[in-house]
Amino acid sequence: MPMVQLLADCFEEVLLVDNRHMPRRGVDLEGLMGDFEPDRVLFVNTVYQISGGAVKGF
């Protein structure tokens, strides 16, 4: 993932989350943000994820 390498150079700490797996593991975004208390959040999605293809094909 080239994006992760770019972010790792720019920030002290980077948390990478695959949101496709969060519901199955009983994790929600609000709880995750409360645990880590980030000062910045970047959401990265592909067209495939936005179209629902990732959910249907999983």
Q: State which residues of the chain have pLDDT below 70.
A: 1-2, 45-58
In a domain, 58, yes or no: no
Number of domains in the chain: 1
Query: CA–CA separation, 18 vs 30, rounded Å?
Result: 15
- Please report whether residue 41 resides in a domain: yes
- The answer to whether the predicted template modeling score (pTM) of the entire model surpasses 0.75 is no
Residue 55, domain member (yes or no): no
**Continuous segment of H or E residues that includes residue 51:** none
The predicted pLDDT at position 46 comes to 67
The per-residue pLDDT for 50 is 58
Q: Which amino acid is at 50?
A: I
Question: Given this model, what pLDDT does residue 2 score?
Answer: 67
The predicted pLDDT at position 49 comes to 56
Question: Is residue 57, in this structure, part of any structural domain at all?
Answer: no
Q: Which structural domain range is residue 22 located in? A: 2-50
Residue 56 lies in a domain: no
Whole-angstrom CA distances from 49 to 39, 43, 46, 55 are 25, 12, 5, 7
